[in-house]
Amino acid sequence: MKAFPIPVVAFGPGSQDEDDTLEYIPSPGAMSTFNVPRMPEAIDPAVRDEVLGVLGRLLDAMRAWSFGDPDYPEIDLAGLSAPGLKLVNEALGQGEVSIVVEAGEGRLRIQETVFAGVWRELGFDVAKQQVRDVVSAAPVPGAVGVCARLAGSVGISVPPPPPGVMNAPSILAELVDAAARWKSGDGAHIVNLTLLPLVPDDLAYLDGALGAGSVLVLSRGYGNCRVSSTRLANTWWVQYFNSADNLILNTIEVTDMPDVVPAAADDFGDSVERLDEWIETLRFE
């Protein structure tokens, strides 16, 4: 797995110092498609067999699992040899979605593989020691939503607007009301800031009032998308950038999880087929 290109800092308009440079994932310039991971030219047969065993168990679990069931498959990689772990990471590759989760005093670093809905999860304690290493299969790992909810509250304080703020207080009031009324199963309540007459002070006020939550996501598909949970319960800041890193859509969504983050059922089904084919390819490398 590659190093995460996500700066774990406060997120949203006004939360960055002017001198800070955000490190976006390079835009693919078009919709991402499945790319077969690159493998080393020579593979030790014993290491290959070790990895085939892991991937085989994963594939069997994915086939047996009902998409959306919260009890999703997880394969613990803690017992793998170092060469085996390296080969697993190479075999699964790196996909479109990268996630950092602040989980209490620890941190989760999550990377989707090239197989949509298959994730590599690394967990670290407060001393930055790795305590978790799994591959999971789900729309999105459950810890993402759980940690976002635990860090959010419907009772955030609403600061008085400073001079220069125009329309942000009414938007914030709408969001606070929507978050208080939202319940599991409801559709997303979306405020499209791009279409509203807002000045920079409005965006700074919203950013300060909502604050940074515990989850930060980068997703690449038709360009780049950055998703951040906020301190307001079930409320996410979602920003889309074009290939020139210009902000083209700026929204705030009240929902359990923005649609851009989880893998879709059809894509997961494709991943089952592709993983099966990839395992057969590895078997004869």
Q: What is the pLDDT of residue 35?
A: 65
> Of 2.60.40.420, 3.40.50.920, 1.10.1760.20, 3.30.1370.140, which CATH number belongs to 148-254?
3.30.1370.140
Q: What is the pLDDT of residue 104?
A: 82
CB 77 within 8 A of CB 135: yes
- Average pLDDT of the chain, as a whole number: 87
Q: What is the pLDDT of residue 32?
A: 47
The whole-angstrom separation of Cα 192 and Cα 249 is: 8
- Beta pairing partners, 221: 223
Place of tokens 């300060």: 208
The whole-angstrom separation of Cα 50 and Cα 76 is: 13
CB 211 within 8 A of CB 194: no
Q: What is the pLDDT of residue 5?
A: 35
Do the domains spanning 45-139+263-283 and 148-254 agree at the CATH topology level?
A: yes
**CA-wise closest residue to 55 among 92, 86, 83, 82:** 92
For the structural domain made of 45-139+263-283, what CATH number should be given? Answer: 3.30.1370.140
Q: What is the pLDDT of residue 38?
A: 66
Q: Domain locations in the chain?
A: 45-139+263-283, 148-254
Q: Kindly report the pTM of this predicted structure.
A: 0.84
Q: Which residues of the chain have pLDDT under 50?
A: 1-32
Q: What is the pLDDT of residue 238?
A: 97
**CA-wise closest residue to 118 among 62, 48, 51, 202:** 62
Q: What is the pLDDT of residue 13?
A: 40
